[in-house]
Amino acid sequence: MQIVLGVAGGIAAYKACELLRLFTESGHDVRVVPTESALKFVGTATWAALSGHPVATDVWDDVHEVPHVHIGQTADLVVVAPATADLMARAVVGRADDLLTATLLTARCPVVMAPAMHTEMWEHAATQANVETLRSRGVIVLEPAVGRLTGADTGPGRLPEPAEIYAIAELVLERGSVPSDLTGRHVVVSAGGTREPLDPVRFLGNRSSGRQGYALARTAAARGADVTLIAANVSLPDPAGAKVVRVVTAEEMRDAVRNAALVADAVVMAAAVADFRPASRAIEKIKKTAAEPEPVALVRNPDILAEISRDRGRAGQVIVGFAAETHNALDNGRAKLAAKGCDLLVVNEVGDGRAFETPDNAATLLDATGTVSVVPLGSKERLANTIWDAVAARLSSGA
C-alpha cells in the first residue's frame, strides 16, 4: 500500500520514526512529508534513510513531478503524526502553503491525524472546533494520550504510542475505508477482568487480558466515535483515540460504567466482571498455618449489565453484553440475553485456549430481535467491527 506519513513540527516528531519503521517492515511503501518546522526535530537524512524516498517540504521541489498533486492522488492512506494545533488549523481552512497541506487537499483516500500538543493547546476552543470540523469531513482525528509532556507537565496532549497509531492505520487499510458511522457518537467500552481482594496480596480474578475490549475501543475510535474505555487490570498500551478510566473491582467498574453511560449512545460490556467477591477482606495477609484454612464466604457482585439495560442513560441507547460460556453456549446466551435486557449479546466459547489471552476470537452475536450472526475465528479487531456494524445499524434506525 502507498502511505503518506505527514510529520508536523512538534517534539513528538521523533516518535514518527518508530511509526515509519512499523509501516515499512509490514511491506508498505511510505513517503514521508514533513513540515519545515518538523525538520528542526528530525532531519531529512533520517526520513530518507528510513523510507527509501527523497524528502521535501516545499511545493517547489521537483516541480516537474508535480508532487503537491501526485503524492496525494496516489496515496492509499495519509497519516499525520504528530498533528499539531497549527497543522490542523491550516488543514481546516484549506491552506496549501507547504507540501503537506497541499497533499491533504489532493488526497481522496482516508486520512488519520494523531494530535500531539500541550494540554492547554489541545483543550482550547479553537483547537476543539478545528477537530470537530475535520471529523465532520471524514478525517479520523484520534484523541491524544494522557501522560508526560515536555518538561514536568502531565495531561492530555501526548502522542499515542506508535504501535497504536499503526494498529488504527492497519484497520483503515484492511477495510479499504472505515465508515464514519460513529462520528458524533459517544460510546463506552469496558475491558479486562475485575479483581476482588481477599487480603492485601491475594484476590479472586479471571484470565481476561482486555484485548477484545481494547480492540472495540480502537475500532470505535477509527469509526469516528468519542470513546470512553473503562479498563480493569489491563497492562496493554492505551488504545489511540480512547479516554481511559482505570478500575480494579466490580464495584469500581459499576460506578465508572454507570457514570459514563449517562451520556453514552452505546455501551459495550466486554469486561469479565466477577460475579462474586469475598464477604470480608482481611486487613493483613492470611498466614498459612498447620490448620486447614477457613472456607471463603462469597457474596454477589452487582449485575452491571442488567442495571444499565434497565436504567438507560438516554433514549435509543444501545447496550451490548458479553457471555463467556464453557458449554451449551447458545442456549445459555439466549437465556442471558433475555435475563439481562440488553440489545445485543456476544457469546464466546472459552477455555482450552479460546477467547481469553489470545489475539483471535470467534463468537455468535445474538440480537434481541431474534437475529443470530455467527462470526468465524479471526482477529479481535474483526469481531469488534462486526459488533460496531450491528450497533451502528441500531443507532441509525432508532431501534
Q: Which residues are catalytic?
A: 206
With 0-12 CB in 10 A as exposed, 13-18 as middle and 19+ as buried, what is 264?
buried
- Kindly give the interhelix angle for 125-136 and 85-92, rounded to the nearest 10 degrees: 50
Contact 216, 390 (CB under 8 A): no
Counting beta carbons within 10 angstroms of the beta carbon of residue 369, is it exposed (0 to 12), middle (13 to 18) or buried (19 or more)?
exposed
Q: Give yes or no for a contact between 118 and 153, defined as CB atoms under 8 angstroms apart.
A: yes
In which element (H, E) is residue 117 found?
none
C-alpha cell at 79: 497519516
What three-state secondary structure class fits 194?
Answer: coil
First to last CA, the chain: 38
Would you state the cell numbers that stand for residue 360, as one nine-digit string? 483471535
Q: Are strands 140-141 and 186-192 parallel, antiparallel or unpaired?
A: unpaired
Q: How far, in Å, CA of 349 to CA of 327, rounded?
A: 7
**Under 8 Å between Cβ of 350 and 324:** yes
- Decide the pairing of beta strands 372-379 and 360-367: antiparallel
